[in-house]
Amino acid sequence: MSDTRIAVLVLGKIHPRVLEKLGKQFDIISVERDDGPKVDAETAARIRAIAVAGGLNAAWIDAFANVEVIANFGVGYDGIDVRHAASKGIVVTNTPDVLNDEVADTAIALLLNTLRQFPKAESWLREGRWVKDGAFPLSPFSMKGRRIGIYGLGRIGLEIARRLGPFKVQIGYHTRSPRDSLPYDYYSTLKEMAQSVDTLISIVPKTPETHKVINAEILSALGPQGVFINVGRGWSVDDDALIAALRNGTLGAAGLDVFYDEPNVPEGYLSLPNISVLPHVASASVPTRDAMADLVADNIIAWFNNGNVLTPVPETPVKLKA
């Protein structure tokens, strides 16, 4: 460790590629999240950047007076107190775009798994039931003729829509305002869309406005042939309402990659036959996670090399350093 090199705080676990890349130019100070911001004053004064995968509250930010940039591993950054960082002139970055394709691919795969029950069919074969019990039962649903509504049409939502096109389904979307020049039906409210489609794919971020908006009313509007897919945030789903709708037939099926209190998954989901669940793996491939790690490191490197970053979040607009 050099007293002349800039120090970067790495909070908790992070992709090893981040450490490898940053370690070539900076001193790495690794701290466990549970320890609290306990670093000696001399080291704390040298820390001018933070790399993190997960939350970062005001107390952590205030503990390091010379921090200039916080680089988050992930697109969502709701766990970081961005407003507080901005008030102190700190730039916050995330990792958009590099995972768009992977998450969109997962959304389509999860939809197909939910409709056609492919994981169950594979288990049927592996368990020898094809020989013992005969053909796997017909799947109750199909992609054919589906009317699909996408809740959230940002970068990933658009990629999902583009992938759905070749399936010859109808596509609509709901966002706060319509997107110009898109060949998809726009719905001004989530309820209006749920009443008009039979499949709802949620890809919205965690905000106060999206908290448990997928509720009993929305699920009922989708109907007994309806399917709900979530690759956004578990925060947006009322778990009790969804479990009840799946159990009593108000909703046909659901596919979930995200949950409200990860990694804790409500037991009610696991006993249901009409749900497909994944352990938040939408971006979990080696190439995509490598690209995310590179972007975390590259944002910090760019800031200290040329006074700018590659992917600032909108709450902290970048101003070139003097």
Kindly list the domain boundaries of the chain, sorted by start residue: 7-95+287-306, 100-277
Query: Could you give the count of Cα atoms lying within 13 Å of 176 in the half-sphere of its Cβ?
Result: 5
Cα gap 94→53, rounded to integer Å:
10
* List of residues 6+ apart from 86 with CB closer than 8 A: 92, 315, 316
Instruction: Give the C-alpha distances (Å, rounded to integers) separating 244 from 251, 256, 318.
Output: 9, 15, 46
Task: Give the pLDDT mean for 78-82.
Answer: 95
Q: Check whether 144 has a pLDDT greater than 70.
A: yes
Mean of per-residue pLDDT scores for the chain? 95
In the three-class reduction of DSSP (H, G, I as helix; E, B as strand; rest coil), residue 140 is classed as: coil
Cα gap 11→34, rounded to integer Å:
10
CATH topology of domain 100-277: Rossmann fold (3.40.50)
**The predicted structure's pLDDT at residue 321:** 55
**The predicted structure's pLDDT at residue 103:** 98
Cα gap 304→284, rounded to integer Å:
29
Cα gap 71→246, rounded to integer Å:
39
233 catalytic? Reply is yes
Q: Say which of 176, 280, 289, 315 is annotated catalytic.
A: 280
**The predicted structure's pLDDT at residue 316:** 80
Please determine whether the domains at 7-95+287-306 and 100-277 fall in the same fold group of CATH: yes
Cα gap 103→78, rounded to integer Å:
18
Q: Say which of 20, 209, 262, 315 is annotated catalytic.
A: 262
User: What pTM did the predictor assign?
Assistant: 0.93
| pLDDT-derived band at 2, boundaries 50, 70, 90 | low
| pLDDT-derived band at 37, boundaries 50, 70, 90 | confident
**End-to-end Cα distance, the chain:** 28
For 7-95+287-306, give the CATH class. alpha beta
247 catalytic? Reply is no
262 catalytic? Reply is yes
Q: Would you state the structure tokens that stand for residue 179, as one six-digit string?
A: 């997107």
Task: Give the pLDDT mean for 43-61.
Answer: 95
Cα gap 76→60, rounded to integer Å:
19
Q: Say which of 46, 174, 233, 289 is annotated catalytic.
A: 233
Task: Give the pLDDT mean for 47-66.
Answer: 95
